[in-house]
Homo-oligomer: A and B are copies of this chain.
Amino acid sequence: MQIRPVRWDGDALVLIDQTQLPHRYVEVRYTDWRDVAQAIRQMVVRGAPAIGAAAACGLVLAAQSIPVAEMADFRAEWLRAADVFASTRPTAVNLFWAIERMKRVLHTCHTPESARRRLRQESEAILEEDVQANRAIGQHGQTLIPDGARILTHCNAGALATVGYGTALGVIRAAVEAGKKVHVYADETRPRLQGMQLTAWELVQEGIPVTVITDNMAGMLMRRGEIDVVVVGADRIAANGDVANKVGTYSVAVLAKFHGIPLYVAAPISTIDLSVADGSGIPIEERAPEEVTHIAGVRIAPEGVRVINPAFDVTPAELVQAIITEEGIARPPYTVSLAQMVAKRSGEVFGDGGTAG
């Protein structure tokens, strides 16, 4: 079974409802762009690359629903929809990257009809490129995974977080496809349990050995010598290599550093934000307290207690051994290596001899 959390089916966008996993596998069809924006907010679809892809497709639905009129009116209405998507979630930069990419296409179109057609084509390119990028990330990244490795991962940077194959889990899948034996330890990743409910589910589907741990067990396992390598995804990478990712990644990175275990970040170029100098410039989403105080709809917290719920944290570049992208493996100093990768990718997509997927 191929996991495709964001895909077209005719004129409908189909998302896997990730809030129902692992208990039920449900696909939902969307034809109204506003429902797609809501799905992003409510984390029906989540994971930085998947959010970007879903927004791109949502903007196609928006273009379809706007009455064909003067191009200026069409454009203005479509840009209002783009603003709604841009307001859904603040941290994952892939969202803004995808919206910008769709805007660039819109601005080359002279009629609503061509805009609809070309936006749809662009969305399909984004979906296609994401899977290809993840396979390339996997190929590069698996060279860093020793045979027999016991790999810790945090949250879900798998097929479900992307258009398919995954970033961190793409590296693991590629290692398995290369014939290596691995064992994955998945942090359950409170509050929303993406490690327990998404990563473990994905790996069980494919028969890749996985053990779920509570987030607070990672240090103990490292001390016992039972973790060889850590691989995680990213929601935004600053120009200096600071990495915003699911809350708890920073704790894992400190623990890995303390135990001399390499931590690798796997992410497509679209996750790199050169406009942000370092992690202090990355906005961190604060989500509803109920995500912490309730589990599966059941209140677990006492009444009257205060909680905080930052969805992400920032891991400073010095705790990151390497950043794996579709263009190869970036090493420190990241200010140089990441800029080179972004330039290389831009050359391929937009340059003369481009080989954009």
Contact = CB atoms under 8 A, between A and B. Distances in A.
B306 A211 contact: yes
A273 interface: no
Given A196-B301, A215-B215, A295-B300, 12 more contacts: A22-B302, A200-B301, A200-B302, A204-B304, A204-B305, A213-B307, A216-B251, A217-B247, A217-B308, A220-B313, A223-B313, A296-B300
B302 A216 contact: no
Interface centre among A201, A223, A305 (most CB of B within 10 A): A305
A220 B310 contact: yes
Interface centre among A191, A214, A217, A296 (most CB of B within 10 A): A214
Nearest to A155: B216
A43 interface: no
A352 to B, nearest CB: 45
19 contacts: A22-B302, A188-B292, A189-B216, A196-B300, A200-B301, A200-B302, A204-B304, A209-B306, A211-B306, A212-B306, A216-B252, A218-B251, A219-B251, A220-B310, A223-B250, A223-B313, A254-B255, A255-B255, A296-B300
Number of copies: 2
Given A211-B308, A304-B204, A220 B258 contact: no
A328 to B, nearest CB: 29
A103 interface: no
A197 B303 CA distance: 10
Interface residues of A, number: 55
A116 to B, nearest CB: 40
Contact of A214 (B22, B213, B247, B257): B247
B296 A216 contact: no
A308 B213 contact: yes
